[in-house]
Structure 1
């Protein structure tokens, strides 16, 4: 898998202000994206008064959460203790995962970091635009925090983005606690949080064995399904990686397709997987997805709301013989329960 350039994500592209150096550089190299990006950029911002979901009080909650995240992102990196504490890889690996759960995470696992986990270049923060990502720390601790169903089930209304932003804050705080602890032990650690990622979190979480990635591009986890947000801390501390979940999620997603059929932006492909850059996968159209966000004024969440995992189907059921032999039966049972 090749490394992905953060400058090509919608979140980065929407930061490029007309006339800025980043704007001029990016669209000089990506002429085909300029028209759609300018159109999206001119639409009302999320949680703004011009959007149909706006509330003068509640809309300030996610705004406040994201401003808080922006204020603490400088803490993602820090100096390590000069006195290194001797550790044993297997013991500290288990200790870190248990600590993440103690702090409130719902799942925790360790991945051996690969180059494809890391962005090739930074793009979202103007002060780092275009910088190559070169500090490829060898291990990643991935964890999830729960998005409460009462928020997810209100998608695409304001309660969904309130809950989404709350979960991003929770993931950032847990990541900080883990990273500060690792640094105190004398090892390097970097928090990857909303607005300040060097990595593609779902890929790290998948390879850390805490979930699988579905048709909608979201991480699907045991018990909570897609109703999670992901945190990652990378480190040079020697750790023991976990095994990926051996679940053929594509067999279920090929039959299900609820996320695609309910997506208001028509951003999730309904057909079979396609080969993209040598990988057979479903590719979400990020322009269509983000375009609906700007129309509705929230980060939507209908794909999470419609996904059967975390509602009436447990991910680990897919390891049972009845699924392996007849995946369509499990999906029909879900529809009947719905």
Structure 2
């Protein structure tokens, strides 16, 4: 699998300011992206005045979450206790998984890190733009925090981004505790959190058995669908690993297509087959997706809400796998459409936001 350069991600490109070293370097190498990126940067940012969902009281809530996350980035790495504690892989793996869940993780898995998990270069911040990523950690602990269903089902309104930003904070805190704990035991550990990832959490989570990558291109879990946020701690501490799982998501997505049909920017593929002629068909057009975000003022969330796995449906819970079973998939889709129509939508804000 080919590694991705973080400089090419929409989140990185949106930060390149005219006149900066990053801006000049990136668009010298990628002149075809300059026009659309300049247009995107001219628009109000998420949660800012001028976006469709802006509210001077409520939009400041997710903004506060992202500011907090920015303020703690420097804590992702730290000093390692020179006195190494020796422990069995089985015991420390159990301890770490339990600790992650104690601090709020709903799902936890562990995998050996592979080359394709990592970005090739950093790109989100001017101070380390273009740095090659070289991480010699052997293992990754990946964890998912559930996002509240009713808040996500209010997307693309402001409640949705309040919930997503809250769960970025949740995963950051879990990661901080785990990385501090492991360093206290005498082993190196790094917390990979919002805007400070050296790797791609969804790929790590897939290999660690948390779920599969679906049509909407993000991790989908059997328990919560796409309604999760992910955090990762990488480490040189020896751990027991988990195996990838399958519950027939590819077969399900092949028939479902809900996320593609409800995407307000038509950024997701509605191709039936995930692969054809050695090409991945299920991709996201990150430019059109992000332009819609900047218009809305939130990170939308409609593809998450429209996934049947995100809605805790009983017809999904009772099935171990949908692989090769079109009848079961059809029953779930029929139940979903009878209950939600095209997609779930909870109008208005919760009481505390009114």
User: When the two structures are superposed, what TM-score results if normalisation uses the length of structure 1?
Assistant: 0.95
Provide the aligned length of Structure 1 versus Structure 2.
338
> Residue 190 of structure 2: SS of its match in structure 1?
strand
1:152 maps to which residue?
152
User: CA–CA distance in 1 between the matches of 2:242 and 2:312?
Assistant: 27
Q: Give CA-to-partner distance per residue, 1:26-65, whole Å, 9 cap, x none.
A: 0111111111111111111111111121101111111111
TM-aligned CA deviation for residue 278 of structure 1: 4.6
Distance 2:294 2:215 in 1: 23
Match of 1:106 in 2: 106
| Residues 1:329 and 2:327 aligned together | no
Gap change, CA 1:279 and 1:205, over 3 Å in 2:
farther
Cα shift at 1:261 = 0.4
8 Å contact 1:118–1:136 — kept in the other structure?
no
Moved more, 76-85 or 272-281: 272-281
What is the root-mean-square deviation of aligned Cα atoms in Å? Answer: 1.8
Q: What are the Cα deviations for residues 154-209 of structure 1, in whole angstroms up to 9, with x where unaligned?
A: 10111111111111011101100000000011100000000100010111111110
User: Contact between 1:115 and 1:136, CA under 8 Å: does it hold in 2?
Assistant: no
Deviates more, 1:204-213 or 1:315-324: 315-324
Note the residue ranges of structure 2 that are not aligned, 5 or more in a row.
341-354
Q: Counterparts in 2 of 1:279-298, with a 5 A limit?
A: 280-298=280-298
* Residue matched to 1:319: 320
**What secondary structure is seen at the aligned counterpart in 1 of 2:308?**
coil
Alignment of 1:70-219 (within 5 A): 70-219=70-219
1:32/1:275 CA distance change after superposition, 3 Å: farther
Q: CA deviation at 1:150?
A: 2.2
- TM-score norm. by structure 2 comes to 0.91
**2:264 matched to which residue of 1?**
264
Deviates more, 1:147-156 or 1:317-326: 317-326
| Map 1:23-38 → 2, pairs under 5 A | 23-38=23-38
Task: Answer yes or no: is the 8 Å Cα contact 1:308–1:334 preserved in 2.
Answer: yes
SS at match of 2:232: strand
Does the 8 A contact of 1:124 with 1:195 survive in 2? yes
| Counterparts of 1:199 and 1:231, CA distance in 2 | 10
Contact 1:152/1:301, CA 8 A, preserved across alignment: yes
How many Å apart are 1:311 and its aligned residue? 1.0
CA change 1:251–1:275 in 2 (3 A) is closer
How far apart are the structure 2 equivalents of 1:277 and 1:114? 25
1:96-127, CA deviations, whole angstroms, 9 ceiling, x for partnerless residues?
11111111110000011101101000000111
Deviation at 1:91, TM superposition (A): 1.9
The gaps in structure 1 that reach 5 residues or longer are: none
How far has the Cα of 1:281 moved from its partner? Answer: 4.6
- Determine whether 1:47 maps to 2:47: yes
Match in the other structure for 1:309:
309
Q: Aligned equivalents of 2:4 and 2:322: distance in 1?
A: 37
